[in-house]
Structure 1
Amino acid sequence: MPPVDNRLGKPAIGLAQHLTFTLGSALLLMLLYSLLRLALLAYNSEQIGDTPVATLAEAFGNGLRFDLRLVVYACVPLLLALLWRPAMNARGLFRAWLTLFASVTLFLGLLELDFYREFHQRLNGLVFQYVKEDPKTVMSMLWYGFPVLRYLLAWLLATLLLAWLFKRLDLATRPRPPRALSLAPATRRSPWYAHLAVFVACLLVAVLAARGTLRQGPPLRWGDAFTTESMFANQLGLNGTLTLIGAAKSQLSDHRDNAWKSTLPDDEARRVVREMLLGADDRLVDADSAVVRRDYTPPAERTLPVRHVVVILMESFAGHYVGALGAPGNITPNFDALAKEGVLFERFFSNGTHTHQGMFATMACFPNLPSFEYLMQMPEGGHKFSGLPQLLSARGFEDRYVYNGDFAWDNQAGFFGNQGMTTFIGRGDYVDPVFSDPTWGVSDQDMFDRGAQELAALDPEKPFYALLQTLSNHTPYALPEQLPVDPVTGFGSLDQHLTAMRYSDWALGRFFEKARQSPYFKDTLFVVVGDHGFGSNEQLTEMDLFRFNVPLLLIGPGIQEKFGARRDTVGTQVDIVPTIMGRLGGETRHQCWGRDLLNLPEGDPGTGVIKPSGSDQTVAIVSGERILVQPRDMPAKVYDYRLGAKPSSRHVENAPDEASLKRRLDAFLKSATESLLDNTAGVVDAKP
C-alpha cells in the first residue's frame, strides 16, 4: 500500500502526485491569466479597430510567455517542497497560497480593465502615485467613478471558484487509500537523491520559463511583447501584474537611479541643446554653470499691447475632439468660436499625460523627465525654476490661482507657493456652489464664475496674472444633474467623457462672456491650453499622440493681425512661458526649456520632447510631421504622423533624420536632468 504520513494518518504524497498537482496548478493559473487577457480585449474592444485576428493571436502568444513567468513565481513554494519529503504533504498550505496568489492577481486584472481604458497602459507607477495621494479622495474617485461593488462581488465569487478548483485538483492528485489492510510490503518511498534530481530538473525548467527566451543576454523584457504594428495588441501581450512589479521596483529604488542615462559627452550635449533652444534674440549668460540661461528681448514689432496674463488649463482637453482642429461631433462649440479670435496652434502637445506634468511644464516651463514625472512632490520640486511666477512676480504682477479642488492634491500649494504664487482659491473657498462633487470639488461652472469674479475685482491699471484650472472633465465627472448642454452620443464608451468635455467647453464660453464685460479684458493675453489629452479608439504612433495632442489658443489685442489665425509649428507646454514673455516685451532672464513660438526663424518646424506619466521610461521627440519614439533599452522608431480631421501615422524604416533626432533627444534629456539635479534650473544659481 502507499506510504503513510504518520502525523496525518493519510497516504503520503509521492513525487508523481506532487508534480502532477504542481503542473495542474500551473495550468489553472495560465488559464486564469489568458481569460483575464481575453476580458481586457473584450472590455476595450473599441481599440481593436482593423487589427487582424492573426495579430491579436500573436499578442496572446506573446502573453503566454509573460504569464508563464508569473506562474513560476506562484509555484516556487511547491518546487522548494521537493527538497523535503514531509513538505509535500502540506497541501492545505499550498492551496491557501495558490488561492491567495490567484486572487490577488485576479483583483489586479479586474482593476486593469478600467485602468487600460483610461490610460492605454498596463498597470504601472500611476497606481502607486494615486495610492500616495489623499486616500479619501482616491477612494471617493473609485467609488463614484467605477462599479466598485460589481467588481468586488465578481472578485469574491471568482476567488471562491478558484479555491474550489484548487481543492478538486488536490483531491484528484492524492494517492488513493487502500480498500483493505494488506500484508504486502509498503511501497518504498523515493530516495533523497531522486528528490534532489527532480528538484534540479524542475529548477532548470522554471528558470528557463521565467527567462521566457532561449537567447543569450537579458531575459524576457516588456519590449518582447511589442512585435506588431498594433499598439493595442502589443500592450495586450504584457502581464499587468508583472508591469506593476516592475514599477514597484522603480518606486523602491532611489528615483535618481532611474534617471535618463546618456552616452553623450557633457560639452556636446550642451552644445546641441543650445542649438535647439537659443534664438537670434537670446543672449546666453552663466554659460559655465547653467545650460540655457539667457536674456531674451523680443523685437518690439512682435510684442502686444497687453498688461495682464490669464492662463486657463483645461482638464483632459484632447485636441482629437476639438472641432476647431477638425473633430466631428460639435463637442467644443465655444472653444471653436474663440479660436476665430486668436492664434490656434494645430500641432501642440502636452509634455506628459497627467495633470501633474501639465501644471509644472506650463507654469514652471520645465520638462517632464524620466524618473521625475511627479516633480512637484519630489525633493527636486523644491528648487527654484524660471517659470511664470518668478518672471512676473519680479515685474510686480499680482497673482490668482483659482481651482475647483483641494490644493493639497499633487502638492500644488506647496510647489507653486515656493515658486512665488501667493493667492489660492480652492474647494473650501466657494459659497453655495451650483454643484459640488464629493470627490474633486465644485464644477467648472463654479470655478469659472469665481475666476471671473476674482479678476474683475482686481485693479485693471495694475498688472496681474492668473491660473484658472478646470476639473470637471475627470472621472468621476463633476457635472450638475441638469446639464446646460446636450449629452454626447455616438462615441460608445467615450460618451460620458465627451459630455463632460462639452460641459467644460460651455463653462469656458460662459467665462469669456463675463470677462468681456470687465475693463481688464482689452489689456489681457489669454492662454487656453489642455493639460493633456485622452485615449481614442485608435492609437496614433507607438507614443499614442492622441493622449498628448492638446490645443493651444492665444487671444489678445491685435494678435491675429500680427501673427495670423493658425500655426502648424510643433510646440509643447514648456514653450508657453517664453511665448507669453515674448508678447509682454522687455528683457527677460529665464532658463525655460522651450522657445517663443511666435518668434521662431522662418521655416522652423518646431520641436518638442514628450513622455507619458507613470513608470514607463519611453520618451519621444516631435519635429514637424516626424516623431522619434525611444523606449528604454529598445531600438527607436520613427514615424510620420498627421493630426486633424484625418489623423494617420506611418512607420518610417531607416529614416535619414533618425540619428539627428536621437542626438537631440538624448542631449535635451541629459542636460535638463543634470540641470535639475545640480539645482541650476532657475534664473540664478542656487546657493550651496
Structure 2
Amino acid sequence: MFIEYLAYPNEVMKMLFNGHLLTLALVCIFLITLSKVCWTFLDKIIGLDKPINRVSIIFASLSCFTMLLVFFLGARGTLGHRPINPSLVYFSTDPLVNSLTLNSIYSVAHAYKQFGNEKNAAKLYGIMDNEKVITLIRQETGLGLHAFKDNTQPSRSLRLPVYQGKPKNLVIILEESLGAQFVSSLGGLPLTPEIDKLNKQGWAFKQLYATGTRSVRGIEAVITGFTPTPARAVVKLDKSQQGFFTIANLLKDNGYTTQFIYGGESHFDNMKSFFLGNGFTDIVDFNDIINPQFVASWGASDEDLFNQADIELTELHNSNKPFFSFIFSSSNHDPFEIPEGIVTPIEYTAEQLSKYGSRERMRHKAIQYADYALGKFIDNAKNRPYWKDTVFLVVADHDARALGRDLVPIKNFHIPGVILNSGKAYLSDERVVSQIDLPPTLLSLMGISNHSPMLGQDLNASEASGRAMMQYAENFGYMQGDEVTILQPHKTPSNFVYDLKEKTLVRTPLNQELADIALAHALWGSLAYKNAWFQHK
C-alpha cells in the first residue's frame, strides 16, 4: 500500500500534514537527533577527519568483490535452490507478527518489485488444470454448465432478469471504509442510524463480505464483478484499461447514460482512466461540484457530493434516457475532516473509552457524518421524480481496517449493503453474500438481459448458495456457509469453521472439495486477466 500511494503525492501529503503533523514533526526531530548522535559516535570511533591511507588496487578489488559477494548472499538469504522470500520466515497465524520478522528496507524493496511485476496466483497457491478451473468456477455460479457456450470467454453466459418491465435506472452509492463493526443493525457500534433505518426499508444483506481491503478492490467487485487476486485490482492494471467488462459498458450498450460522481480528484487510484476506457461517459469530480461548503484533504464533503448528485440525477431524469450513476463518498477517510456542529459523538462506556483512542473516536465522528449525509440525500431523493424508476444500492467498499491474528480476519471483511426500490418488500437476507454477487443481482432487478463473464450469483434466486471470497494481502479466503478454506503462498490449504456470532475461526480437518473450489477461484482472476477472458465483447 505504501508503494501504491507514492503515485499520489498530493493527496498523501495533504492527509499527512492535516491529520498527522505532530507525528511527522516528532519523527523528523528524532531522525535529525539520531543522525547527529551517530555522526559524533563514528567520528570518535574511526576518526572521519583523519587522513585516509592509500591501499593497493589489488587489495581494493578483492575487498570490493568480497563485499559484493556478502551483499549478494545476504540479499539471497540462502544457499538453497530458491532465494529467500517473505513466506519462508512466516511462523505465526497473525500476519502482523509475521511482517515484524522482515527487514523494513527489504519489505519496501520487495513491494516495489511486486508493484511492477503483477503476482500470478498459480505461483503462490499452486497449479490446477485450466479445464478443471473453468468447470469449478462455472459450477459455483449456480447457472448450470449448459449456460456457458462461448469457449473463447469461458465464464460468459446469458442471464435473464427477474423483472420483465421497462428497464430501470441504477444508482450505486459506494461508502468509504464502512465496516459492519460500525453499524448497530449488524452487531456494531451505534454510529449509523440512517443505514440502520435503510436496512429496515429495503433488501438488507446481513452477511455481506468485501473482496478486499482497498477502495479499488471494492470498485472492481461492484462495477466489474471480477474476483479478487493477489495482484493489484483491475482498476490499475494495464490490460484492463479498455474493453474490460463493466456494468457501465453493458448499460451503455443498452442506451444508458453512465456517470461517475466523486467529491475528490477522479484521477486518484487511476479511477478516471479505467472508467473512461470502460463504459463511463460522464465524470463529475471536485472541479465540477457547484459551490462546495466544506472542502477537506480528499475533496468536497459528502453533503456537497450528494447535493451535486441530486443535481446530476435530476438532469439525467429530465433527459428522458435511462441512466446509471456511480457515487463514491470520501468524508470517512483519514484525516477525518468534517464540518463542525453537525455530529454529536455517541456516549462511550468506560470500557469503550479505554478501547478507542482519540484518533479512533475521530473516525467514529466521520462515520456519523457520512451516515448523516447519506440519510439526508436518500430522504431528499425519495421526493424527486428520479426515485420512482431507479434501483439504489448502498454498499461499503471495505472495512476501515483489517487486522487480527487470523490468516484472513473475516470479521473485518463484513460490510453493510442494502438495495432500495428493488420491487421487493422489506427483506433481511441472512445468506453469506459476496460483493461480486451485487452486479448480476442489480441487473436482474433492473430488467436487463445480458451476456456477461461475471461469476457472481443472482441473489433473486432462492437457491443461490451462500459463499464469499476475500483477498487479504497474499492470503485468499473462500467461505461457503460457515466453512472457510484459506490459501497461503507455498503452503497447503487450511480449513476452518467461522462462528458468525462470535466472529472466530476454529481450525478443522481439510475439506479437499472446498479447497479445490477455493483454488479454482483464486486462480481464475489471473487466468482471465492474462488470457483476456473478461472482455466486454
TM-score normalized with structure 1 length: 0.69
The equivalent residue for 2:529 is: 676
State which of 32, 37, 54 in structure 2 corresponds to 1:161. 37
1:370 equivalent in alignment to 2:230: yes
Q: Given that residues 331 and 488 in structure 1 are in contact (C-alpha distance below 8 angstroms), is that contact kept between their aligned partners in structure 2?
A: no
Q: Given that residues 349 and 548 in structure 1 are in contact (C-alpha distance below 8 angstroms), is that contact kept between their aligned partners in structure 2?
A: yes
> How many aligned positions are there?
516
1:519 equivalent in alignment to 2:375: no
Separation of aligned partners in 2, 1:517 and 1:507: 16
The equivalent residue for 1:334 is: 194
Q: Given that residues 138 and 455 in structure 2 are in contact (C-alpha distance below 8 angstroms), is that contact kept between their aligned partners in structure 1?
A: no
User: Per-residue displacement from partner, 1:423-448 (whole Å, max 9, x unpaired)?
Assistant: 221101123212011x3110111101
The equivalent residue for 2:173 is: 312
State which of 411, 425, 432 in structure 2 corresponds to 1:570. 432
Amino acid across the alignment from 1:415: F
1:142 equivalent in alignment to 2:3: no
Segments of structure 2 that go 5 or more residues without pairing to the other structure are: 51-57
Separation of aligned partners in 2, 1:383 and 1:600: 35
The answer to which of 484-493 and 315-324 deviates more is 484-493
Judging changes above 3 Å, is the alpha-carbon distance between structure 1 residues 530 and 281 closer, same or farther for their aligned structure 2 residues? farther
SS state of the match for residue 503, structure 1?
helix
Judging changes above 3 Å, is the alpha-carbon distance between structure 1 residues 407 and 207 closer, same or farther for their aligned structure 2 residues? closer
Separation of aligned partners in 1, 2:462 and 2:242: 29
Amino acid across the alignment from 1:524: T
Judging changes above 3 Å, is the alpha-carbon distance between structure 1 residues 299 and 310 closer, same or farther for their aligned structure 2 residues? closer
State which of 182, 201, 210 in structure 2 corresponds to 1:321. 182
The equivalent residue for 1:349 is: 209
User: Per-residue displacement from partner, 1:280-331 (whole Å, max 9, x unpaired)?
Assistant: 5972231x2111101111445xx78872211000000111221110113x11
Amino acid across the alignment from 1:596: D
State which of 18, 24, 28 in structure 2 corresponds to 1:152. 28
SS state of the match for residue 340, structure 2?
coil
The equivalent residue for 2:324 is: 465
Structural mapping, 1:503-652, within 5 Å: 503-535=369-401, 539=404, 541-560=406-425, 565-601=427-463, 604=465, 606-612=466-472, 616-643=473-500, 646-652=502-508
Structural mapping, 1:177-192, within 5 Å: none
Judging changes above 3 Å, is the alpha-carbon distance between structure 1 residues 281 and 203 closer, same or farther for their aligned structure 2 residues? closer
Deviation at 1:535, TM superposition (A): 2.2
1:388 equivalent in alignment to 2:388: no
Deviation at 1:557, TM superposition (A): 4.8
The equivalent residue for 2:54 is: none
Q: Given that residues 539 and 545 in structure 1 are in contact (C-alpha distance below 8 angstroms), is that contact kept between their aligned partners in structure 2?
A: no
Amino acid across the alignment from 1:295: L
TM-score normalized with structure 2 length: 0.87
SS state of the match for residue 300, structure 2?
coil
Amino acid across the alignment from 1:458: L
SS state of the match for residue 228, structure 2?
coil
SS state of the match for residue 132, structure 1?
coil
Separation of aligned partners in 1, 2:428 and 2:207: 10
Q: Given that residues 207 and 414 in structure 2 are in contact (C-alpha distance below 8 angstroms), is that contact kept between their aligned partners in structure 1?
A: yes
Judging changes above 3 Å, is the alpha-carbon distance between structure 1 residues 409 and 242 closer, same or farther for their aligned structure 2 residues? same
Amino acid across the alignment from 2:493: A
Judging changes above 3 Å, is the alpha-carbon distance between structure 1 residues 141 and 396 closer, same or farther for their aligned structure 2 residues? same
Separation of aligned partners in 2, 1:433 and 1:298: 39
Amino acid across the alignment from 1:315: E
Q: Given that residues 348 and 549 in structure 1 are in contact (C-alpha distance below 8 angstroms), is that contact kept between their aligned partners in structure 2?
A: yes
1:251 equivalent in alignment to 2:115: yes
The equivalent residue for 1:27 is: none
Deviation at 1:219, TM superposition (A): 6.0
Q: Given that residues 277 and 292 in structure 1 are in contact (C-alpha distance below 8 angstroms), is that contact kept between their aligned partners in structure 2?
A: no
Amino acid across the alignment from 2:392: F
User: Per-residue displacement from partner, 1:16-75 (whole Å, max 9, x unpaired)?
Assistant: xxxxxxxxxxxxxxxxxxxxxxxxxxxxxxxxxxxxxxxxxxxxxxxxxxxxxxxxxxxx
Deviation at 1:267, TM superposition (A): 1.5
Separation of aligned partners in 2, 1:636 and 1:158: 45
Separation of aligned partners in 1, 2:259 and 2:144: 33
State which of 290, 293, 297 in structure 2 corresponds to 1:434. 293
Q: Given that residues 258 and 279 in structure 2 are in contact (C-alpha distance below 8 angstroms), is that contact kept between their aligned partners in structure 1?
A: no
SS state of the match for residue 458, structure 1?
helix
Judging changes above 3 Å, is the alpha-carbon distance between structure 1 residues 424 and 203 closer, same or farther for their aligned structure 2 residues? closer
SS state of the match for residue 299, structure 2?
coil
Deviation at 1:377, TM superposition (A): 2.9
User: Per-residue displacement from partner, 1:196-222 (whole Å, max 9, x unpaired)?
Assistant: 99x99x9999999777789x6656543
1:130 equivalent in alignment to 2:8: no
1:660 equivalent in alignment to 2:513: yes
SS state of the match for residue 400, structure 2?
coil
User: Per-residue displacement from partner, 1:222-279 (whole Å, max 9, x unpaired)?
Assistant: 3355434444433333333222221122234x43x64544521121211111111241
Deviation at 1:487, TM superposition (A): 6.4
Structural mapping, 1:100-119, within 5 Å: none
SS state of the match for residue 611, structure 1?
strand
State the identity as a percent: 24
Structure exhibiting the larger radius of gyration computed from Cα positions: 1
Structural mapping, 1:214-233, within 5 Å: 218=82, 221-233=85-97
Deviation at 1:131, TM superposition (A): 1.1
Judging changes above 3 Å, is the alpha-carbon distance between structure 1 residues 204 and 587 closer, same or farther for their aligned structure 2 residues? closer
> RMSD of the alignment, in Å?
3.2
Amino acid across the alignment from 1:436: V
The equivalent residue for 1:9 is: none
User: Per-residue displacement from partner, 1:307-364 (whole Å, max 9, x unpaired)?
Assistant: 2211000000111221110113x11111011100112212222222111121122112
Separation of aligned partners in 2, 1:326 and 1:305: 38
Segments of structure 1 that go 5 or more residues without pairing to the other structure are: 1-125, 175-191
User: Per-residue displacement from partner, 1:593-645 (whole Å, max 9, x unpaired)?
Assistant: 3121232526x2x2233213xxx43222122112222121233322222346x
Amino acid across the alignment from 1:639: F
Separation of aligned partners in 2, 1:246 and 1:557: 46
